Amino acid sequence: MKTWALFVLLAGCGSSGSGDGGDADADADADVDSDADADTDADTDVDSDADTDTDSDSDADSDTDADTDTGPVCDLDADGHDSVACGGDDCNDGDATIHPGADDRTTTIETIEEGTPYCCYPGQIGVAADGTVHVGYDIDDQIRHAFDDGGGFDFEDVSTGVSPTLAVAGDGTVRFAAVNPYWADTLLFLSNESGAWREEVIDGTPVISGAPAVAALDGDIHVTYVRANANALKHATDASGAWVADDVGQVAFGDLAIAVAPDGAVHVAYMDHSTFHVMHAVDDGGGWTVDDIARELGQTSIEIAVAPDGTPHLAWMGWATGDLNYATNATGDWVVDVIADEGVSAAAPAIAVDSGGHVFVSYTMVADVWLGTLRLATDAHGDWELSDVEGAGNEWTSGIAIGPDDAIHIAYGDNVDGFHAEISAADGIDQDCDGEAW
């Protein structure tokens, strides 16, 4: 009996369980826990954490991050739109500012002058190379110059006159052409080139009030106007150091428009006095060449801008229809297009072209006699796109200009206040996920 008892004792010392792993637990592996894997935790996988998956993090899923999700997050930027990968419509789920419904452009509105009836009409606008915004208009037969170099608008009275048009020279100085109604409607030129405003008489014979237009290129000034005695269309320049006028060889009336191409060619848009046709005249150094663009049934306001490649672009309101019309000879022949035919007058158009050759036309969709919705049309994406200017109320548009950064600047007003709208330049980002980058 003693011998048998000793045998049983020795057999019991061989293992603490029934496994064959050689360790102190009851399973078949070599670790000291009670499961069948080769690690030291209590689960059945082969990693060293305490969860039941096969990765080395402490969560219960099979990815390598430390969260407990089981699939992708569909709105990473929390902008309320799921990513395209999840079947949503957010084209960039890593940026909360990019999603359907976002604005491709940012519009900033600031007041030029308030509390002055009929402020800021005609509201000519130009932007200097340093970004300073200049606006010209008349109040009670006084030409007023407003300017904003980044700290808000200041303004100053320049001289007696009406119907001013404004040009900003390459050096940032401002030039006006205007009519002095108290000097037999003589044509005036005003400049702050010397630091103080200087006034000259371009033409001492009576001119038609409201008609002159001014443009500048590399310091040379060009003015177009109509003499009142025979409706003769004239052009004057100070390129030689003194004012020299020449005949365009046409009769005209109504508002005129002038622009100078980078190569120095002078472009004039006007309405023929006898035919009511929209006309274009250009002098590239060899004399004036005139083109008949389109027929209208009455006086209309015409505007012109020249692209960096020298192509002219015209915009005007159809007298009978109220449509917003556009013409260019970019293809070699003049092509006329209707930008807007919204059933109401597209009044007071103004036109500008950015550095990429994209055309922008501001206008007022008239709701009553004078005022209406301020709108912007552009062909930046090929076809004409029309939109309201965000933040503008019941207004009357007057002028548009492109800044050195290609931002769009519009001067406009109502019967009391004047305003400046700045619309951000194109940044190449498709902000609203419509497939077109602004």
And the tokens for 307? 């692209």
31, with CB counted inside 10 A (0-12, 13-18, 19+), is middle
Burial readout 135-167 (b: 16 or more C-beta within 10 A, e: otherwise): bbbbbeeebbbbbbeeeebebeebbbbbbbbbb
- pLDDT confidence of residue 430: 81
Spell out the residues 6+ positions from residue 430 whose beta carbon is closer than 8 angstroms to its own.
Answer: 91, 98, 104, 436, 437, 438
Q: Before 206, cis peptide (omega within 30)?
A: no
- Superfamily the domain 107-423 falls into: Fucose-specific lectin (2.120.10.70)
- pLDDT confidence of residue 45: 56
Tell me how far apart the alpha carbons of residues 339 and 223 are, in angstroms, rounded to a whole number. 28
Tens-binned pLDDT, residue by residue, of the chain (438 aa): 434 333 333 334 344 444 555 555 555 656 555 656 555 555 555 555 555 555 555 555 555 555 555 567 898 888 889 889 888 898 898 898 889 877 777 889 998 988 776 666 667 899 999 999 999 988 888 999 999 999 999 999 999 988 889 999 989 999 999 998 877 788 999 999 989 999 999 998 888 756 689 999 878 999 999 988 788 999 999 999 999 999 998 888 878 999 999 999 999 999 998 888 999 999 999 999 999 999 887 767 899 999 999 999 999 988 888 899 999 999 999 999 999 987 778 888 999 999 999 999 999 888 666 678 889 999 988 899 998 887 777 777 679 999 999 999 999 887 788 889 999 887 778 888 887 776
Cα separations (Å) of 374 from 153, 231, 403?
Answer: 21, 33, 20
- pLDDT confidence of residue 365: 86
User: To which H or E segment does residue 10 belong?
Assistant: helix 2-12
- pLDDT confidence of residue 230: 82
Phi/psi at 377 (5° precision): -115, 145
Tell me how far apart the alpha carbons of residues 338 and 318 are, in angstroms, rounded to a whole number. 9
- pLDDT confidence of residue 185: 83
Q: Cα angle at 174 between 169 and 176, to 5 degrees?
A: 110
What are the structural domain ranges in the chain?
A: 107-423
What pTM was computed for the model? 0.79
